[in-house]
Structure 1
Amino acid sequence: MAVRTTSSNLINRTMSSLRGFPTYSASRLRPCSLSVTPNTIAAVQTEPSKDDIRQPRPLQALHLKPLKRQAEFGVPSCDLQLRSFSTQPLEFFADFALRAAYYLGLPAYGPVPLPRLVERWTVPKSHFIFKKAQENFERVTLRRLIQIKDGHPETVQLWLAYLRKHQYYGVGLKANFWEFTQSGLDLEGETGDARMQQLDASWSHLGQKISLGSVSKVEELLNSQRGKQAAGLQRSPAHS
């Protein structure tokens, strides 16, 4: 059986459903004006999202290659050799050393891969009846070279000390350090004797033997009670 719905029935049902809602007269309704300016549109369009926020520079630099400074004269100051049995810690610490050199103002070059060191050992596999069976062991050492040029000696020493303090496990360090002085007359050598005389008082306190001094001090030491007991003398020695 088909049910026909007329427009009057729909109006009655709609009115009955709206009886519980409050009604407003036309006098109580006020027009609302919304002002939209170009600045408002630009602010809505340029609102940054979480993906668009820029990371801090030090954190962003971790994903980039380490920065390097250019040497002016190209005079080598230090050769740092890194050694390890695996590649990952070696590459990680080489990157760390380059970044530390950049922030200390040192021109660093590298890392340059060096030839591998391959060591092999052949030992008996077991004892007694199995001693004829032998077993081979192999150890491969990976190396990288970082060179510092035009570096101040104190700055290079500070760089090496910082690397030793934060040395990564499984990575060995070997450094060759050069220090240069000006050529020509050694003007500082003229005052070398005067400096050595100033250090005599300090050097006299080092070592097991103390300088005896003059002849009178030696005679006074021998005539003392402790000197007599040590030498087995009951009376002071006669003067020659």
Structure 2
Amino acid sequence: MPAEATETKKKAAAKPAGAKSAPRVRKAAAPVAVQRLRIKVKAYEHKVLDASIKQILDTALRYDAKVAGPIPLPTEIKKYTVNRSTFVYKDAREQFEMRIHKRVIDILDPSPKVIEALTNLSLPSGVTIDVKMA
């Protein structure tokens, strides 16, 4: 019995009072990296923007790509205030605004054929495209 008592005292001395054992941490499987093509499209006219979005979607769906979107983003409005007269009459002012319409399209796991078809796509002038691989 004295030998058992000394063993329990050694175990108690090794751990400070109230200390808990470290929790077991299970390593999760590494997440599979999904390749994504994010296309941001901007234009001043929403009709031209919608037509070019339709053209991009038709091209992507022709090659059986998984598409998320088009997601409309907030319209950016830039306002400019200008005096109507050259010298006096500060109260007479005119306001102009420019609206920039934006959309986002995500193409999940794009094949090389889809990427090539999108690069060869000709869109109308006035449409800005920003493509990012993620």
TM-score category, normalised to shorter length: 0.5 to 0.7
How many pairs were matched up? 103
Change (3 A) 1:98 1:74: farther
Question: Do 2:59 and 2:114's aligned partners in 1 also have CA atoms closer than 8 Å?
Answer: no
* Correspondent of 1:75 among 12, 34, 50: 34
Q: How do residues 15-26 of structure 1 correspond to structure 2 at under 5 angstroms?
A: none
Offset at residue 80 of structure 1 (A):
0.6
State whether structure 2 residue 102 is matched by structure 1 residue 143. Answer: yes
Task: Give the equivalent residue in structure 2 for 1:162.
Answer: 120
Stretches of structure 2 that go unaligned for 5 or more consecutive residues are: 1-31
* Correspondent of 1:115 among 66, 69, 74: 74
Q: Distance in 2 between matches of 1:84 and 1:119?
A: 13
Task: Give the equivalent residue in structure 1 for 2:51.
Answer: 92
State whether structure 2 residue 85 is matched by structure 1 residue 102. Answer: no
State whether structure 2 residue 130 is matched by structure 1 residue 177. Answer: no
* TM value normalised by structure 2: 0.64
Q: Distance in 1 between matches of 2:105 and 2:71?
A: 7
* Structure with greater helix percent: 1
* Structure with greater strand percent: 2
Q: Distance in 1 between matches of 2:109 and 2:62?
A: 15
Stretches of structure 1 that go unaligned for 5 or more consecutive residues are: 1-72, 179-240
Question: Do 1:113 and 1:145's aligned partners in 2 also have CA atoms closer than 8 Å?
Answer: yes
Q: SS at 1:89's partner residue?
A: helix
Q: Distance in 2 between matches of 1:116 and 1:124?
A: 26
Percent identity, please: 26
Aligned partner of 1:117: which letter?
A: E
Q: SS at 1:129's partner residue?
A: coil
Larger RCO (CA under 8 A, 6+ residues apart): 2
* Deviant stretches of 4+, over 6 Å: none
Offset at residue 157 of structure 1 (A):
3.6
Question: Do 1:84 and 1:90's aligned partners in 2 also have CA atoms closer than 8 Å?
Answer: yes
Question: Do 1:106 and 1:150's aligned partners in 2 also have CA atoms closer than 8 Å?
Answer: yes
Question: Do 1:108 and 1:146's aligned partners in 2 also have CA atoms closer than 8 Å?
Answer: yes
Q: How do residues 1-240 of structure 1 correspond to structure 2 at under 5 angstroms?
A: 75-130=34-89, 133-152=92-111, 154-163=112-121, 166-178=122-134
Q: Distance in 1 between matches of 2:35 and 2:47?
A: 28
Offset at residue 109 of structure 1 (A):
1.7
* TM value normalised by structure 1: 0.38
Aligned partner of 1:158: which letter?
A: E
Offset at residue 92 of structure 1 (A):
1.3
